[in-house]
Structure 1
């Protein structure tokens, strides 16, 4: 019973609260959102935001110096492009940097991967999904081989 209680606590902490705000700098103009530097945040909140942006067909341009953690979930949208110089940081699920119970960690790894395009999900599950303390960093220009569009030089 104790194990179940810990698992439930970990998952509810990961799910977070919809009242929490952004973890980065974003500018919205018309149907375009510019993502500046973004350190990430709660996975569940970001998944909901990305689903809304996709439904509204908002173009997402990730052009800051870095996009870490849950910020990388913007890569799910077919309307996303990235700057070639932006650093994207990937890591496995945790509770404020602390390991989750194995069952919860496996569930969240799969849930996160399911919100990436297939080539990127495969790469994520091949290693970065296991990291807790550090990020696996990849430049925007290298995401193209994982099916992610590079932004044109217009903006």
Structure 2
């Protein structure tokens, strides 16, 4: 079993019963659910993105996806839960308020359409979280789609 899927399976077994409390990446049968993910280190998330793409499973973005998690929204096998929220802010050097140079370019390379325009139009320099709904996200990025399994 691939390390990410093993970790996801282990996390799913240990996950709280209440879905609203979940946070992380979980294998749910034929799906992989990204629940209330806080993001983290951008280069690690790029690796996670590659692993998720390679599974071929539908990756459902659920709850609140923020920071580096946002680069998962454009996976070819990703979809958004109708009530998902997506949060963007400037990438910072861990433990500081210093905006990391070049990291915003890496993140921006994964965004499309109006999301990309807003990212490079100021979200990439904002220390404040810029939160949008899944509906607003799909309006800004018409290639993004809602999860039929969660309608």
TM-score, normalising length from structure 2?
0.75
Confirm or deny: 8 A CA contact 1:91 1:129 kept in the other structure: yes
Tell me what 1:83 maps to: 81
- Post-superposition offset of 1:110: 1.1
Q: Over alpha carbons, which structure has the higher Rg?
A: 1
Map of 2:111 onto structure 1: 116
5+ residue gaps, structure 2, are: 1-6, 9-22
Across the aligned residues of Structure 1 and Structure 2, the Cα RMSD in angstroms comes to 2.3
Tell me, which stretches of 5 or more residues in structure 1 are unaligned? 1-20
Equivalent of 1:72 in 36, 48, 70: 70
Partner Cα separation in structure 1 for residue 136 and residue 32 of structure 2: 22
**Per-residue deviation at 1:91?**
0.7
Structure of higher RCO (CA pairs closer than 8 Å, 6+ residues apart) = 1
**Distance in 1, Cα, partners of 2:113 & 2:84:** 21
- Compute the TM-score of the two structures, normalised by the length of structure 1: 0.73
For residue 149 of structure 1, give the secondary structure of its aligned residue in structure 2: coil
What residue in structure 2 maps to residue 150 of structure 1? 146
Does the C-alpha gap of structure 1 residues 31 and 76 become closer, same or farther in structure 2, counting only changes over 3 Å? same
CA contact (8 A) 2:59 2:78 kept: yes
Match of 1:46 in 2: 45
Aligned to 1:7: none
SS at match of 1:28: strand
Of the candidates 131, 138, 141, which is equivalent to residue 135 of structure 2? 141
Secondary structure of the 1:141 match is helix
Question: In 1, distance between residues paired with 2:112 and 2:34?
Answer: 19
Alignment correspondent of 1:61: 60
Number of matched residues?
129
